[in-house]
A and B are shown apart, each in its own frame.
Chain A
Amino acid sequence: MAKEECISQRNKTAGDTSALRNRKVFPSSEKTPSSPLSKGTHSQTAGHHSEDDAQSSNGTSAQCSTRGNNSEEPPSRVLLMLVVGLSFSTRLYKIADPPHVCWDETHFGKMGSYYINRTFFFDVHPPLGKMLIGLAGYMTGYDGTFPFVKPGDKYEHHNYWGMRGFCAVLGSCLPVFAYLIVLELSQSHTAALITATLLIFDTGSITISQYILLDPILMFFIMAAVLSMVKFNQQRYRPFSATWWLWLVLTGVSLAGALGVKFVGLFVILLVGLNTVWDLWRLLGDLSLSLVDITKHLLARVVGLILLPLLLYITIFAIHFVVLNKSGPGDGFFSSAFQSRLIGNNLHNASMPEYLAYGSTITVKNLRIAGGYLHSHWHLYPEGVGAKQQQVTAYLHKDYNNLWLVQRHGENECEKRGILLRKTTRNLHTHLHEAPLTKKHFQVTGYGINGTGDINDLWQVEVCGGQKGDLVKVLRSKVRFLHRATGCVLYSSGKTLPKWGWEQVEVTCSPYLKETPSSQWNIEDHINPKLPNISLSVLKPHFLEILLESHIVMIRGNSGLKPKDNEMNSKPWHWPINYQGLRFSGVNDTDYRVYLLGNPVVWWINLASLGLYVIMVAVASVALQRGFSLGQKRIGMVIDCDSNDSHVLMREGGQLFLGWLLHYAPFYTMGRVLYYHHYFPAMLFNSMLTGITLDVLLKSADLLLRRPYSDWLQRVGLMVLLFSVLYSFYLFHPLSYGMTGPLAHEAGSAMAGLKWMDSWEF
């Protein structure tokens, strides 16, 4: 434990006490059995309040009572062991049930298998989570042969429990981390205990940890990052010590992990970033530090929190690309050069005619990253969208409809000039109609029958950077197609067409002739029986190019996950009120049903204390600004320490509140389809905030009551809270551990009477 290290260090460097003060101090609270001091006793330390400058300017003494914060006390150990034990047992209980594929296991299990089989695939999330799942499966004897076709498929003899167990173990760490974070922030075992209880007995957190999903892995890294950040903050009085470096590096590693699992990890990076900026600002204001020291601090953070995570993140991708070396379902999303790396792809060690010729059958790929193949199909543009001719689009997958035939127009032309003819025997055509989405461009259609068309079917091939008469090299030449009649250039706008265009990408003819990758194409497949095939050693793409390319593909994929029209999707405001859960498994009476839904008591307590927190902070800050002391009644006690409550509330609570906000508010601006489980990281922060808020609230009981009664009130309040959480867990535990029999609204169900909201579907 870090604290032990601190203490041993303190012994070594005895004498330097001014720099070694315990950061957080509290009026003794009898509640916590760990306090060895009776009330009113305070050992004085001459700690300077560099962090509390606003406070000490109040005119009161900056001295404080320090509670012997001895972490070797047995109760704290016992509490921690208890939290660990309960957390692991609740998460690992019935881990193998149900023995079939649940919900998104069908995706992530499948992708885990891809790693074991080394098949290349495409997913909208970065690879770390799936890699770890694959690794866990590999280590526990899963051979990657289960197809994960759809939810409900029986696993039978396959070793799926290893992957689930791995996720559950990571999920079990969450309450433990939360406990440690809150303990570190508030130095109050009560607060930490409240947080841990809320999380351990939340059915939602249990359910989401028990299956092969990315969320437990993601949340593990998020919480690890926050924990290391908090520990690192605590080391601020011992800069550049070994522990300081340790926590800094651990923060960086966890950040890389969080981002490597899902892009949601960006929010925690933002949180840590803001914290770091604030910290640097504090250092900058410390005039006792020279500029050189500050530069050292800055550089250390740049290395630990930017360069190291970046390096790790890139490494993750490097491993991803090295491991997945076989052609698979994700090929078409990537450029021709990329595909040539994959064993089994038709471009791997390709051999085809080297120069484009008339009469060849080709596929044409847009050079914009993830640009897709020039494509056309039998469907026409709908009424009201330009001329009602055949659609021409860009399509990301390999398809027979991507093939085009190059024809010559007239015999006396010396340049390469041709009509591109599709296999459905329509000519590539454009005319002065607005394109469907990009109104500034012209519409591109398929026109004519069996190659007879009109003057608008003529396209001039131009090699970028080449001269007139240069031959067009397959794969290696960047080519533009200039329309002869209008002078526009074939262009892929990157915008997704509506339903009538099968959600493929729009292709237009742009009158703006600037050379951009959107208007450049390359010839990918090339079939011409008259020409000899030459083996092509295609230029291998640079790793950074692959990295960039895969990111753009991922981001586009993410924003492409639009909600379908007739599907009701979850709205962000549903989440904190626990409005509606997710069905993990089973629909009907006879099925084994698991329903992802937070323990309503826990969630509503969280929601209430969020409001309470805002009110308390408002009251406390107005009071501070106006110069009231909240502890006027307790003038006998040390005033400064008393307002520590409000400091914990405002500063440490503020960090958690910011964390909650950062993990929740951005979802309101997202256009993509949202699910209930997106709220879980925010819920973790909310629970930690609840711990701190309720703890401070209980402690301020003595503003109302005299001494012994207020302590009783505190104790009773805590007990009521813990028991209500426990009892509600007893009521709702079938949500996580499986329900069978009739649905909740029917009599005779195990969950009868528990359908408190109509929107719950169990």
Chain B
Amino acid sequence: GVMMLQLPLVVTAQVDLVLLLVSLLALWTRLSRLSYPNAVVFDEVYYGQFVSLYMKRVFFIDDSGPPLGHLILAFGAYLGGFDGNFVWNRIGAEYPSSVSVWSLRLLPALCGALCVPLVYLLTLELRFSHLSALGAALLLLLENSLIVQSRFMLLESVLIFFVLLAFFSYLRFHNTPSSCFRYGWLILSGASCAAAVGVKYMGVFSYLLLLGVASLHTWNLIGDRGVSHVSPAELCVCVCVCVCLQLSVCVQCVCRVVCLLVVPVLLYVFWFYVHLSLLHRSGPHDQLMSSAFQASLEGGLSRITQGQPLEVAYGSQVTLRSSASQPVPCWLHSHKANYPIRYENGRGSSHQQQVTCYPFKDVNNWWIIKDPGRQELVVSSPPRPVRHGDVIQLVHGMTSRFLNSHDVAAPMSPHAQEVSGYIDFNVSMPTQNLWRVDISNREAESESWKTILSDVRLVHVNTSAVLRMTGVSLPDWGFRQLEVVADKLFKAQSSSLDWTVEEHRYGTSQEQKEREAELHSPTHIDVNRKISFWAKFLEVQWKMLTVKQEDSEHKYSSSPLEWITMETNIAYWLHSSTNAQIHLIGNPVSWGVANLSLLAYQLLAAVYLLRRRRGFKDLPDGVWSQFVCLGCVCVGGWVVNFVPFFLMEKTLFLYHYLPALCYLHLLSPALLEHTHTHLCATHRRVLCVCASAGMLLVVLSYRTFCPLTYGSPELSANQLQGLKWRGSWDILYRRR
């Protein structure tokens, strides 16, 4: 106590100084000359378009991840006064002077810089020394790939920051003795997890690992009975104590569940809330969404559908949109062309008028709802609404053919029935044009058919087959439009069976000519419709997870195994006239160290485990649990962030490996310290020299690759050739 009183300042200041120094260095490496390539660098071209859309408040959906990452990037742009007026179309395009490049890149760079002190603190929380902490911080600081990834408008550094923050605050929570502030750390941890998942779905892996570690700790808490050996005889005595203990254990468990499960989920939804409330205008991604969603956005569909009558009535003129958004959204369509008498494969057809699904707005998408019992095609007054279970006929507006289906094999899906516009050829093929309206999202049995809101199945009365879009393109005779069939089986996904009325008006013209003119005129009346946030959230989330990108190989894509061996790089930017260029290349020495320490840890752990099982306790219990904790966080973190990529079918890039790499950089110095204190009793000095030499090499190789990291100075072709340490690296030379 006396000692502490004498030297409190020195002790604390020492720690802070190292941390401060490291932080300053990190800020310098990440933030200096941030606006230097004043041009679009690699994936900035991808994220930039979303930033622009945010600035313009235009709705978009990005299947690569939740919106928080884009929001953060957009926030940076907002701070810099970016107005969204820049066309992100080409890597290497110069930014105009109106764009504040520095502010676009500021937040990711800041996150990247803060990772360095975080790693320092995290090592301390893993109960290793300040020297190890410094080592880990230096490894991260001098990692060229992390620097490159941080300095541009990209999301990996943000993700890594939140992941590290989550682990740091959780461990701080775990190590702090009971106090009120303790749960503050836990909430921070939960919030960072939510942020990590919100930036990229990859964050889920780290979140799951953290949950695993936390549930292990909770499990021990449950097992910690406070009272050893409760024999049945003593049971009564202990009851009081037990009840108290049970209660406090229960409270603690509930607290943990709330902080680590409930808070993150709520926050995750909150990101979407912000996203959806910011973006209220219609835009290029409207087509993916349901009609109801589109109608809730300003402009776009809502401009067309505003003021349409709500209830579909007999005589209504409608366009029917398929609820399936795969492969493209489309509308039920027919045109003056018949199915070919014989298909290429020799099968016959009915030779009646084609019915297809057409992905563009067209006057041929209009259909008229007709009551089978009456002749007229206008809405009576008052309108008679169509209800669930009613039987209707559908008349094609432009050709007046009835929607018909019969026992003829469909053109592309021979197991299903053909759907046609009926033409009477007098060949004993009677009309079968009655369809029953089946509202699949009805709330009441007699619900009426509502524009935009109702999902309707059209069930063929004669055969009880259901009208559906198969997603297959017809050949040339069908103008490459999509096939529509009636399918008896309920095999299909439910969404491809549903149809929604999108455009709708009450028909008034009796004559065909008049009607055609009416169909060509736009619809307009005014009403406003809203759907709830939850409906929107669920739809956006569902679309995000199910919309598939076309996975084609990219020039710089790579496979997970190439990441470990550093056989791949990505060229981020090349100066438009000189050889100056930026590459995503790791620091070869520190990658080697990382791989080595990963192997060493596994080997060591295996030896320890086997020996413990045989009764040799090499390590005291405290050290052993520290060692295990290190493995859980670092090796576990590496595994969960690396192994899942082997199962993924999407296009992978080197930067997907960076989170996993950070865990390894955390591991190396800690493992070295462990070796130093517990294994090498004799050769400590050698170890120290090796470690320092290793660090020196790291610094040197960082210096060597600096030109490729910062894009300056420009190197000559020979120097570039010299940097091509691996034959498989693609380093670009400008031919002069």
**A interface residues with partner B (beta carbon < 8 Å):** 59, 281, 284-285, 287, 291, 434, 437-440, 512, 514, 565-566, 568, 580, 622, 625-627, 635, 639, 669, 671, 758-759, 761
Contacts and interface: CB of A to CB of B under 8 A. Distances in A.
A291 B489 CA distance: 64
Contacts of A626: 222-223, 225, 246
Contacts of B225: 626-627
B721 interface: no
A352 B202 CA distance: 58
Contacts of A437: 552-553
Nearest to B555: A439
B511 interface: no
B647 A287 contact: no
A568 B555 contact: no
Nearest to A580: B491
B471 A284 contact: no
30 contacts: A59-B229, A285-B613, A287-B614, A291-B614, A434-B555, A437-B552, A439-B552, A439-B553, A439-B554, A439-B557, A440-B555, A512-B727, A512-B728, A514-B727, A565-B471, A565-B472, A566-B470, A566-B471, A568-B492, A580-B491, A622-B222, A625-B222, A625-B223, A626-B222, A626-B223, A639-B232, A669-B647, A671-B649, A758-B490, A759-B490
Contacts of B614: 284-285, 287, 291
A440 B571 CA distance: 13
Contacts of A635: 232
A566 B553 contact: no
Given A439-B555, A566-B412, A281 B471 contact: no
A59 B231 contact: yes
Interface string B212-254: 0000000100110100011110000000000000100000000
Given A285-B614, A566-B412, A626-B246, 16 more contacts: A59-B231, A284-B610, A287-B615, A439-B557, A440-B555, A512-B727, A512-B728, A514-B727, A565-B472, A566-B413, A568-B492, A622-B222, A625-B223, A626-B222, A635-B232, A639-B232
Q: Which 8 A-B pairs have the closest CB atoms?
A: A568-B491, A625-B223, A566-B472, A284-B613, A439-B555, A439-B553, A758-B490, A59-B229
A761 B487 CA distance: 13
B553 A625 contact: no
B375 interface: no
Interface in B484-515: 489-493
B493 A568 contact: yes
Contacts of B231: 59
A566 B555 CA distance: 30
A622 to B, nearest CB: 7
A281 B613 contact: yes
A440 B223 CA distance: 56
Contacts of B649: 671
Contacts of B232: 635, 639
B395 to A, nearest CB: 29
B70 to A, nearest CB: 27
A492 to B, nearest CB: 15
Contact of B491 (A512, A627, A759): A759
Interface residues of B, number: 32
Contacts of B610: 284
B546 to A, nearest CB: 13
Contacts of B613: 281, 284-285
Contacts of A59: 229, 231
A284 B613 CA distance: 6
Interface string B699-732: 0000000000000000000000000000110000
A450 B35 CA distance: 57
Contacts of A434: 555
Contacts of A671: 649
B232, B489, B553, most chain A CB atoms within 10 A: B553
Contacts of B222: 622, 625-626
A93 B169 CA distance: 66
Contacts of A759: 490-491
Contacts of B491: 568, 580, 759
Contacts of B557: 439
Contacts of B489: 761
Contacts of B472: 565-566
A625 B222 CA distance: 7
Nearest to A629: B232
Contacts of A281: 613
A322 B602 CA distance: 45
B454 to A, nearest CB: 20
Nearest to B416: A566
Contacts of A438: 553
Contacts of A565: 471-472
A639 B235 CA distance: 14
Contacts of A580: 491
A50 to B, nearest CB: 14
Contacts of A284: 610, 613-614
A625 B223 CA distance: 5
B244 to A, nearest CB: 14
Interface string B24-36: 0000000000000
Interface string B538-572: 00000000000000111101000000000000000
A439 B555 CA distance: 5
A626 B245 CA distance: 11
Nearest to B554: A439
Contacts of B413: 566
B219 A627 contact: no
A70 B231 CA distance: 35
Nearest to B647: A669
Nearest to B730: A440
Nearest to A513: B727
Contacts of A669: 647
Contacts of A761: 489
B647 to A, nearest CB: 5
B377 to A, nearest CB: 34
B651 to A, nearest CB: 10
B460 to A, nearest CB: 14
Nearest to B646: A669
B222, B412, B413, most chain A CB atoms within 10 A: B222
A625 B219 contact: yes
A639 B232 CA distance: 10
Nearest to A760: B490
A283 B225 CA distance: 30
Nearest to A435: B553
A128 B727 CA distance: 45
Contacts of A627: 225, 230
Contacts of B728: 512
Contacts of A439: 552-555, 557
Contacts of A512: 727-728
Nearest to A571: B493
A622 B225 CA distance: 12
Nearest to B223: A625
B47 to A, nearest CB: 22
B178 to A, nearest CB: 20
A59, A566, A759, most chain B CB atoms within 10 A: A566
B555 to A, nearest CB: 5
Nearest to A511: B730
Contacts of A639: 232
A518 to B, nearest CB: 15
Nearest to B327: A565
A30 B593 CA distance: 65
A701 to B, nearest CB: 23
A291 B611 CA distance: 12
Nearest to A670: B647
A174 B614 CA distance: 40
A636 to B, nearest CB: 10
Contacts of B553: 437-440
Nearest to B557: A439
Nearest to B472: A566
Nearest to B464: A745
Contacts of B230: 627
